[in-house]
Structure 1
Amino acid sequence: MENSTEITSFVLAAYGNIGQLRYLYFTLIIIWYLSIVFINSALIVVIGMNRRLHEPMYMFLCSLLINEIYGSTTIYPCLMSQMFSDTHEVSLTTCFTQIICFYTSVSTEYCNFAAMAYDRYVSICYPLHYNVIMNSGKVYAIILLVWIYSIANFTFTVYFMAHWRFCGNVIDKIYCDIHSLHSLACSVPAASRIYGLVYAAVTVFVPFVLISFSYIKILIVCVKTSSEAKQKAVSTCAPQIASMINFAIGCSFDIVQSRIDVTHVPDKLRILLSVYLVVCQPVFSPVMYGLNLSKIRDACKRFLCDKK
């Protein structure tokens, strides 16, 4: 017989007893969080104020940068508040809300990459029809679809989770995640399992196919074009490819910890790997685009010079 009780809160056990180090950790977290907000906001402002950057590629980039701020905001304030908590306890509602926001951010990031890959595919493979195919209405519709799809998807996920009964309330991480709650559930209804499989297939497979198709087509075109055209294609695609690889690394760390027994890994290393996605990705993306795209570099220089 299952030993289930009415769970109203969860304990984030990975924090442990941090003692006086809480002040150091809090300072580092708030500095990093403010850096994420500043760097991403600065690029959004630069793109918004420069009419030359009001192109589909940079509109998708703005969506990505907004998502970096949104995703960080779902995790960092909770981390800071937990630094001064002795119990490291979060309510059921707070835990579910964090799951919705965090996984919505991850899904939005992934779908944004798919939209940006499609944009590069049209730009490189159909340059003469690019402005017709990727008109402003279509770009805004794609961005809106990316966000609505991600929010709706994980809202339904948590709706099914709300019907789970839990046999424990200790989460061995520093934030709430779906796998941890799944492992604590006494049983998972069949409808929830079916939805989980469908959601995983659609969420992962569809963007992956679009990204793969886009870059395979780009690669085929690049093989047949001149060296100058190849260099231009690489310069516009390189930041996105690098950002996608970093994103995949962060997701891999999270998946490995969810599926494989990593109790033999030192606690501090395990925590660092679990937050890699929310620590590195929000800064990695804007830095990669800011350094590699000449239009953004030039716009930043003009923006700074005009302020002097």
Structure 2
Amino acid sequence: MANMSIISPTLVLIGLVEMENFKYLFFVLALILYITNMLLCFSIICVIWMEVKLQEPMYLFIGNLVFNAIMGSSTVMPKLMFDLILGFKTIDLSGCLIQSFCIESFAYVEIFTFTIMAYDRYLAIGHPLRYSTLMTNKKALKSIIVTWVIVFMNRIIGVALTARLALCGVVINNVYCETMSLTRLACGDTTINNIFGTTSTLTVVIISLLIVIYCYIRTFVFCLKISMSASQKAVHTLITHIAAFSTFMVATLFVGFRYRLNSGALSTATHVIISMTGLTASITLNPFIYGLRTEALRIQIIASVQRIFFSKFK
């Protein structure tokens, strides 16, 4: 096996084989999950876009998270549903690389955005009088654009390093692609890939965690010093952010846990459960967290739905 070169441009997603006996059930679940997620995400984006009073930094960041969730979900779910219903179990190498790029871009954008949002809440609660000058819509949009540029550049390098590898296998122990899955199929030296991947991930995660923890602690201290009513509102916002960030981090660690074990330590079914749970948790739960817990968004979404519903029956 070690002496083989690229044996096929078509890769087998062996996780789909594990889902074969219950493929219609998984298809229905995936369809419900995807449609529900899309409806909520587009509702949030439309409300933020149309309501002038929601066009401020915090809601721009929420809009970016929701847009990112749309990208992450659409990268996996439509193909998964087609594969399940049509019985496909393969993906070509170029498609695998594109899917890897999109999934990993989703993860990086998510953690960058959460970090910026933690800093934004720190400024809003800790420096309310100066907040309007410290964090403007223009600065928020710039930070969002810079986030996407940095992430895309990083992932282009990561995918390019993966694309150059000669593969000695075609079986991916999952239902979707990641660069790590492809790296494990390589027969050549993957030292550069491992160094780049580990350095990028650890740098982003550690720095982001330190900033987020610092901002949340400082924000909580500020909450203890302000009036009860203002404190309750601030704590409510803080809990919403912590819940969303924790969901993402636990999901990320859940997925990353697979690669800390030997390839034979987990069954294919376990790989599928861990990877799908980890991916869908943040993509699905965070729009619900922000849509339900953020009062201004919740009120506007309900009002919009009521307007549409009643206009149909007038």
Give yes or no for TM over 0.5: yes
Give the conservation status (yes or no) of the 8 Å contact 2:174–2:268: no
Task: Return the alpha-carbon distance in structure 1 between the equivalents of residues 107 and 158 of structure 2.
Answer: 14
Show CA shifts across 1:224-252 (max 9, x none): 33333321211111111111111112112
Q: Which residue of structure 2 aligns with residue 33 of structure 1?
A: 34
Give the conservation status (yes or no) of the 8 Å contact 1:10–1:92: yes
- Secondary structure of the equivalent of 2:91? strand
- Secondary structure of the equivalent of 2:95? helix
Identify the range of structure 1 (71-80 vs 174-183) with the bigger mean alpha-carbon deviation: 174-183
Structure 1 residue identity aligned to 2:123: V
Q: Identify if the C-alpha distance between structure 1 residues 63 and 17 changes in structure 2 by more than 3 Å, giving closer, same or farther.
A: closer
Q: Which residue of structure 1 aligns with residue 65 of structure 2?
A: 64
Pairing 1:3–2:3 present: yes
- Secondary structure of the equivalent of 1:10? strand
> What are the residue-to-residue correspondences of 1:285-296 with 2, within 5 Å?
285-296=286-297
Pairing 1:91–2:127 present: no
Give the conservation status (yes or no) of the 8 Å contact 1:239–1:292: yes
- Where structure 1 has 5 or more consecutive residues not aligned to the other structure, the ranges are none
Q: Which residue of structure 2 aligns with residue 157 of structure 1?
A: 158
- 1:47, distance to aligned residue in structure 2 (A): 1.6
- Secondary structure of the equivalent of 1:234? helix
Structure 2 residue identity aligned to 1:275: M
- 1:262, distance to aligned residue in structure 2 (A): 7.8
Q: Which residue of structure 2 aligns with residue 111 of structure 1?
A: 112
Task: Return the alpha-carbon distance in structure 2 between the equivalents of residues 164 and 267 of structure 1.
Answer: 24
Give the conservation status (yes or no) of the 8 Å contact 2:40–2:291: no
Give the conservation status (yes or no) of the 8 Å contact 1:39–1:283: no
- Secondary structure of the equivalent of 1:90? strand
Task: Return the alpha-carbon distance in structure 2 between the equivalents of residues 16 and 305 of structure 1.
Answer: 43
Structure 2 residue identity aligned to 1:5: S
Q: Which residue of structure 2 aligns with residue 272 of structure 1?
A: 273
- Secondary structure of the equivalent of 1:83? helix
Q: Identify if the C-alpha distance between structure 1 residues 224 and 270 changes in structure 2 by more than 3 Å, giving closer, same or farther.
A: same
Q: Which residue of structure 1 aligns with residue 199 of structure 2?
A: 198
Task: Return the alpha-carbon distance in structure 2 between the equivalents of residues 16 and 34 of structure 1.
Answer: 24
- 1:87, distance to aligned residue in structure 2 (A): 5.8
- 1:149, distance to aligned residue in structure 2 (A): 1.3
Structure 2 residue identity aligned to 1:96: L
How many residues in Structure 1 have an aligned counterpart in Structure 2?
308
Identify the range of structure 1 (144-153 vs 223-232) with the bigger mean alpha-carbon deviation: 223-232
Q: Identify if the C-alpha distance between structure 1 residues 301 and 38 changes in structure 2 by more than 3 Å, giving closer, same or farther.
A: closer
Q: Which residue of structure 1 aligns with residue 56 of structure 2?
A: 55
Q: Which residue of structure 2 aligns with residue 142 of structure 1?
A: 143
TM-score relative to the length of structure 1 = 0.92
Identify the range of structure 1 (191-200 vs 39-48) with the bigger mean alpha-carbon deviation: 191-200
Q: Identify if the C-alpha distance between structure 1 residues 51 and 81 changes in structure 2 by more than 3 Å, giving closer, same or farther.
A: same
- Where structure 2 has 5 or more consecutive residues not aligned to the other structure, the ranges are none
TM-score relative to the length of structure 2 = 0.90
Q: Identify if the C-alpha distance between structure 1 residues 186 and 19 changes in structure 2 by more than 3 Å, giving closer, same or farther.
A: closer
- 1:190, distance to aligned residue in structure 2 (A): 4.3
Pairing 1:22–2:23 present: yes
- Secondary structure of the equivalent of 2:184? helix
Q: Which residue of structure 2 aligns with residue 187 of structure 1?
A: 188
**Percent of aligned positions with the same letter in both sequences?**
29
Identify the range of structure 1 (114-123 vs 16-25) with the bigger mean alpha-carbon deviation: 16-25
Task: Return the alpha-carbon distance in structure 2 between the equivalents of residues 205 and 264 of structure 1.
Answer: 27
Give the conservation status (yes or no) of the 8 Å contact 1:117–1:211: yes
